[in-house]
Amino acid sequence: MPPPLRLNAVAFISPQNHPILIRTFQRGDELKYHYIAHTSLDVIEERAGSGATKSTDCYLGFLYAMDDVAAYGYVTPLKVKIVLALALTDSVVRDAEVIMTFKALHMAFYQAVSNPFLKLDIASDLPSDQFPHLVVGSAKWKRFRRRVDEIIRALGNHMPPL
């Protein structure tokens, strides 16, 4: 049996390229994973806009490698981008495992935004085209963050204490 994926970070990014949630699983490297999430956007935009992938295919695959991290991308039908930062190891990363992880994260996000009781604290000074889920860091989104953490634990990754 192959070793489990070593996930270092996951990022959810709005259609307007604003971070929704960037969750790191390595202590002290938060800025590095923010950088990886933002630099992944260029590759995602290039691949999603080029027509190289089918319009129904959400998984973009391997985006790039930087230092000891490999970035993988996924774009939901609502254009929310999900980026996984995996630790580079000598083991083979199977696309099926990565796709399964993306689908689980996508469903967690979908369930969070589909909650009819979720109140979004949207400031009146935000432009009307702003993605309405920018307040994902608020206390109301604890369940979503908890669900993301559960998915990561299910992969066999150890979570740093908060």
Distance CA 90, CA 69 (A): 12
Higher pLDDT residue, 73 or 50? 73
Q: Which domain holds residue 110?
A: 7-155
Residues 6+ apart with CB under 8 A from 162: none
Distance CA 46, CA 82 (A): 15
pLDDT attached to residue 7: 87
pLDDT average, residue stretch 71-84: 93
Distance CA 122, CA 138 (A): 11
Q: Which of 21-30, 65-74, 116-125, 138-147 has the lowest mean pLDDT?
A: 116-125
User: Which pTM value belongs to this model?
Assistant: 0.80
Domain assignment of residue 123, yes or no: yes
Domain assignment of residue 128, yes or no: yes
Higher pLDDT residue, 111 or 52? 111
User: Would you say 74 and 59 are in contact if contact means Cβ atoms under 8 Å apart?
Assistant: yes
Distance CA 38, CA 45 (A): 11
User: Per-residue pLDDT for 53 more than 60?
Assistant: no
pLDDT attached to residue 3: 67
Domain assignment of residue 1, yes or no: no
Distance CA 122, CA 62 (A): 34
Domain assignment of residue 2, yes or no: no
Q: Average model confidence (pLDDT) for the chain?
A: 79
| Segment 78-114, tens digit of pLDDT | 899 999 999 887 677 888 889 999 999 999 998 888 8
Count how many domains the chain has: 1
Domain assignment of residue 96, yes or no: yes
Domain assignment of residue 28, yes or no: yes
Domain assignment of residue 64, yes or no: yes
Q: Which among 12, 161, 7, 162 has a CA at the least distance from the CA of 97?
A: 7
pLDDT attached to residue 20: 87
CATH of the domain at 139: 3.30.450.70
